[in-house]
Structure 1
Amino acid sequence: MKSIFLLLLTLTAAHARVVEYDLHISERNWAPPGHRETRAITVNGGIPGPTIRFHVGDTARIRVHNELKNEDTSIHWHGLILPNPQDGVPGVTTPSIRPGTTLTYEFPIKHAGTYWYHSHTTLQEQMGVYGSIVIEPQGGEPVKADRDHVVVLSDWTHERADEVMRTLASGRDWYSFKKGSMQSLTGAAKAGALKEFFEREKSRMPAMDISDVAYDAFLANGRESIDLPGKPGETLRLRFINAAAATYFYLQSATGPLKIVAADGPAVEPIRVKRLLTGMAETYDVLVTVPPSGKWEIRATSQDGSGHSSVWIGEGEEHPAADIPKPDNYRMDHHLMAAMDEMDMKPMSEAEALDHEPERPLSPYARLRALHSTELPAKLPRRTLKMRATGDMERYVWSFNGKTFAEDGIIPIKRGEVLRLELINDTMMHHPLHLHGHFFRVLMGQGKYSPLKHTIDLPPMASRTVEFEASESGDWLFHCHLLYHMHAGMTRIFSYQDPKWQPPGKLKPGTNIVCNDICCLPGNPEAKTGTVDPRQLGHVPHGGGHDHDPLYYYLDGSVQSHLSDGRLTLRNSHNDFYADWFIGYGDDDNEYEVDVAWSRYFNPNFSSVLGWRFTDKEDEENRAFAGVNYRLPYLINSFAQLDSEGDVRLGLGKSIQVTDGLSIFTEIQYDTGSEWEWSAGADWLLNKQFSLTTEYHSDHGFGGGIRFRF
């Protein structure tokens, strides 16, 4: 019997249909209709790239042609189970595609569903390198529809993607200002949230936002609004793919609840939801029925409420979808309420679930059920890894367990074990976490019918638990699919080790080991359940560019009628190399002071500094100095320095955002050499680069001018 089965498999493989595509990646100026064109990278001349279609049992043969002049590129086949060398992550699984060359991917199509492809090189995904994949099951879809449409959701910015990353790493509030989510004193007063405003500042937390970037457009199939064909009474299957770089979307239909029939590819027991939150890299197949008359909107609204794209079905009078309430950024509890409700959720009927659905729901994982058992064999050994999502919004450093990929990037695993990941979010942002080359079970009370996914939303201050069988080989990326979080360090590699390698402790079938450190590497004092002999640590992969920690430059300063001050900085995740200047002029009181220094960043509240001061101030001379910077409650910045001449300098500073555009500031310092000095002023934000500023300085009087930021 076994030999007959093997023969059938061989014959099937020999007669598998080979489906071929050519994808041409090239640079051109592009924009969605109604927007000014900017540099983009397209697939076959468009954004998104073409939909590529297969049937289960096919062999995919895809030639990717890099027609860029000076850039490597790549394509990752998101959500597909395929041989490791075909996964498309440069330097980890697959070579980069050099300019002017072609790489042919070839792999078997093993499972059905809605998936997508995108570049895993630098920030090319934001620039347009993405497209959709549809795989039909043998025998057709379990839930039938009259028509089938793919809807690729994305976000679009006129800025260069690397400039977006640099802006985020600067800690500036420009994107909050641009999209109208800046927190201010008057805004808190209007929202009746002054108490929450000052409590946040007292706890030393910066202003909160739920989305990083201010986008110029949100797109469905490359446009802000599209029309899909469908006759009255027909059922449409809409394959939604969130291909955005940094945007969660709420989906809502004017026709009524959406019927979910598949999530991340695999079919699920159909459920209905009023609103569906979809994270970056997730896919959902939903069914809607075209009403007898009229034109009806299915709207994809950005989670921060800054915009939407529209999908229209039917013809006639327009029926728009309802607006989704915008988030309340002044009250953090507003963001946590849905997570708390979810934890308290009890089994409900579909009608009860619809009736109790919040206005801004979380993802519907607790209601998703697989069509068949997804239980993993009980005989397999099990290991639990705790992974905490950590980050620092001000410097834009994102990590797992407090370490970026550059600091601690490898999680060694062994084929044949079951890995249970306890995912805990210590930040106030959502994180869509994606595992390459595997499906994991989402454990939220469905038992053996736990749904299979490859991407899961981890809400703020909440937790999720997933598990998967280590059934592959090689190195597989696990990362936040918010593109800029991934590049800022929220990435790991699950690295299959030599068969002789053993995880911490002795793994016997059915046993469970909890590893407090995600990597369980030798020498880690937190690996309390066992240690690893360094000789057992086999293959350790290269980071493939995900382990970089780039330097960014920033210039912030002012030119005023009575003084000029500012800072030129080179920054990476933990270091600032900077030059400060202060030049006072006018009358007979001219003076300057320039600090050239290195600051080491430890956490949002503490950093050290070491440098050299050049000055012509009275009673002072050039000298070395060292000190610390510490953030006090109410976001008051303080510093203490000791210089090589034995003088001590102490200082305090505070700024307050009064309105969206107006901020006020004050600084005071005491130096045992030059004694007291203080200033106070105001800035009025004009655009990303410039502000109007006015300032009174204790030594140089009152003046005003321009403040600049580059």
Structure 2
Amino acid sequence: MTLRLPPRRVLIALLATIVVLTPIVFFWVRSLVPNDLSPMAMGYADYGGGPESEHLHHGEDVSELTGPPSQKPDVAVELVARKERFDIPGRGPMDGFTLNHTSPGPRIVAQQGDLIQVTLHNDNVADGVTLHWHGVDVPNAEDGVAGVTQDAIKPGQSFVYRFLAKDAGTYWYHSHQVSHEQVQKGLYGVLIVQPRPDDVIAVVHTYDKVRTVNGEYGERRVAAPGPTARVRLINTDNGPMAAWVDGASYKVVAIDGTDVNAPTEVSGKKVLVTAGGRIDLEVPTSKPVRIGLGGGPTTLVIGAGDAPTGTEPRDEVDLLSYGSPQAIGFDPAKATRVFRYDIGRRIGFFDGKPGLRWWTINGHQYPDVPMFVVSEGDIVRMTIKNTSGQVHPMHLHGHHLVVLSRNGVKATGSPWWTDSLNVEDKETYEVAFVADNPGIWMDHCHNLPHAAQGLVTHLMYTGVTTKFHLGGGTDNQPE
């Protein structure tokens, strides 16, 4: 016997279903990221209290903001990106991506002031590739961000990057197309400007849960270059890495490519290298020393013979008070633009996918996030606050920031210039910089899966536009 609901009860049930489903459908539709999206049409303009401009969407295209177009390069490099199987010494073969058949790719070395020219060829990387010069304040057209400063380089295509090595320091390069996959699987390399005879490079990268140093697994050893070594630590992973020295004291002599003023000796402490960040250490090497790299079996030993083996120190070097004060060249109290960058999470949808905790910026989800608008010459202050429950390594392209305070405590040491800032949960940083590099610049979390999930926005200069789009026929996917 079949029971049938009275028509009135059926109607009430249908109405109740509609009431429940309507807001869900609304938020699902609203979460969809357009398939063909211009950065110029993203989100909403945040002028930071400065003048609103009629020229936000009119002016010079980013493709015109190039390095020297005709000067003969001092350093010329040809790189070929491939998807292929390669070997990790100490561990074995893996499937991933290479540059000139190696991962990490060839080390690029230049003198300060050199014109660097890198020609990138894509052999067979189906999604396309680019190269971003992490920490190098290049002209905007050379920044290597698919959908913002160029189109992804498809198989069989090439692209030429040209920029001056203005600032000495430790940098790295990596793909900025589907970067949460391509970087992790091998498309990265080291860039050093103004190398020193005592350099020791330690680029740390994790391939499918295998942590390596300079592409090799386990204890790795290098010869002592002299009585001291400048150890250039580069963290290419998605999370922070603790580093320390067993067998000697050390000094922190540079952060993200900028020298520390009057560094002092450190003993029994670790230093935090944030994701994407670089820390240079000065280490005495008259006896063998071991560089701890986040724990685990992969370490770097400098010198011949047995090196001490220790454990990760509990105490950490506080970069807010390390070193001695020095003039920074501008007055943050005279800021012409003041922004906030509040990182949170909320339940809902992202690009049609349901989730318990999606990232937000100032309460908004990508792509409806604030676009921070500046004009050339502005002094900019920004407060970065994290209440999301996870740590975020925040990376602004094209600029270096100086840290003014953390959790209300003012900086008292050497000016802490950074391009990759580790912001822990419940931390608040105040930073400042001068808007001196026109363009459209990504400002995102360098835990690359977080960026792929929408923790990304842009710093946009008035009078600069872009013709490039995310998605669409070019299928640009910068994260």
With structure 2 as the length reference, what TM-score do the two structures score?
0.74
Post-superposition CA distance 1:170-189 (Å, at most 9, x none): xxxxxxxxxxxxxxxxxxxx
> Given the alignment, which residue of 211, 216, 220 partners 1:223?
216
Structure 1 gap ranges (5+): 1-11, 158-214, 325-358, 499-537, 547-710
Give the letter for the 1:155 counterpart: T
Give the letter for the 1:228 counterpart: V
Contact 1:17 1:57 in 2 (8 A): no
Give the letter for the 2:221 counterpart: D
CA distance in 1, matches of 2:75, 2:236: 24
**CA deviation after TM superposition for structure 1 residue 391, in Å:** 2.7
Contact 1:252 1:321 in 2 (8 A): no
Give the letter for the 1:126 counterpart: Q
CA distance in 2, matches of 1:17, 1:37: 36
For the pair 1:89 / 2:83, whether they are aligned, the reply is no
For the pair 1:150 / 2:201, whether they are aligned, the reply is yes
Post-superposition CA distance 1:33-61 (Å, at most 9, x none): 35453320011211111210111111111
> Given the alignment, which residue of 76, 83, 100 partners 2:156?
100
**In the superposition, relative to structure 1, how do residues 541 and 417 fare at CA in structure 2: closer, same or farther (>3 Å)?**
farther
**In the superposition, relative to structure 1, how do residues 543 and 400 fare at CA in structure 2: closer, same or farther (>3 Å)?**
farther
Pairwise mapping of residues 483-502 of structure 1 onto structure 2 (< 5 A)? Answer: 483-498=448-463
Partner of 1:674 in structure 2?
A: none
Pairwise mapping of residues 302-313 of structure 1 onto structure 2 (< 5 A)? Answer: 307=296, 309-313=298-302
CA distance in 1, matches of 2:227, 2:153: 44
> Given the alignment, which residue of 384, 388, 391 partners 1:430?
391
**CA deviation after TM superposition for structure 1 residue 372, in Å:** 4.8
RMSD: 2.8
**In the superposition, relative to structure 1, how do residues 119 and 395 fare at CA in structure 2: closer, same or farther (>3 Å)?**
farther
> Given the alignment, which residue of 397, 400, 421 partners 2:358?
397
Partner of 2:265 in structure 1?
A: 272
* SS of structure 2 residue aligned to 1:223: coil
Contact 1:374 1:448 in 2 (8 A): no
| Length, aligned pairs only | 388
Q: Could you say which structure has the greater relative contact order, defined with CA pairs below 8 angstroms and 6 or more residues apart?
A: 2
**CA deviation after TM superposition for structure 1 residue 289, in Å:** 1.3
Partner of 1:386 in structure 2?
A: 340
**In the superposition, relative to structure 1, how do residues 457 and 541 fare at CA in structure 2: closer, same or farther (>3 Å)?**
farther
> Given the alignment, which residue of 169, 183, 188 partners 1:125?
183
Contact 1:404 1:491 in 2 (8 A): no
**CA deviation after TM superposition for structure 1 residue 481, in Å:** 0.4
CA distance in 2, matches of 1:121, 1:253: 35
**CA deviation after TM superposition for structure 1 residue 492, in Å:** 0.5
Post-superposition CA distance 1:365-387 (Å, at most 9, x none): 21345785213157965222111
Partner of 1:375 in structure 2?
A: 329
Give the letter for the 1:316 counterpart: G
CA distance in 2, matches of 1:497, 1:13: 24
> Given the alignment, which residue of 289, 295, 298 partners 2:291?
298
Give the letter for the 1:301 counterpart: G
Contact 1:480 1:486 in 2 (8 A): yes
For the pair 1:56 / 2:119, whether they are aligned, the reply is no
* SS of structure 2 residue aligned to 1:85: helix
Give the letter for the 1:284 counterpart: I
**CA deviation after TM superposition for structure 1 residue 133, in Å:** 0.7
> Given the alignment, which residue of 316, 319, 341 partners 2:305?
316
**In the superposition, relative to structure 1, how do residues 308 and 279 fare at CA in structure 2: closer, same or farther (>3 Å)?**
farther
Partner of 1:72 in structure 2?
A: 128
**In the superposition, relative to structure 1, how do residues 258 and 102 fare at CA in structure 2: closer, same or farther (>3 Å)?**
same
* SS of structure 2 residue aligned to 1:366: coil
**In the superposition, relative to structure 1, how do residues 40 and 257 fare at CA in structure 2: closer, same or farther (>3 Å)?**
same
CA distance in 2, matches of 1:395, 1:33: 40
Give the letter for the 1:152 counterpart: V
Partner of 2:234 in structure 1?
A: 241
Partner of 2:27 in structure 1?
A: none
Pairwise mapping of residues 564-575 of structure 1 onto structure 2 (< 5 A)? Answer: none
> Given the alignment, which residue of 427, 430, 450 partners 1:462?
427
Give the letter for the 1:248 counterpart: P
With structure 1 as the length reference, what TM-score do the two structures score?
0.51
Give the letter for the 1:75 counterpart: L
- Share of identical aligned residues, percent? 27
CA distance in 1, matches of 2:203, 2:424: 23
Structure 2 gap ranges (5+): 1-67, 348-354, 473-479
* SS of structure 2 residue aligned to 1:484: helix
CA distance in 1, matches of 2:346, 2:307: 44
**In the superposition, relative to structure 1, how do residues 44 and 15 fare at CA in structure 2: closer, same or farther (>3 Å)?**
closer
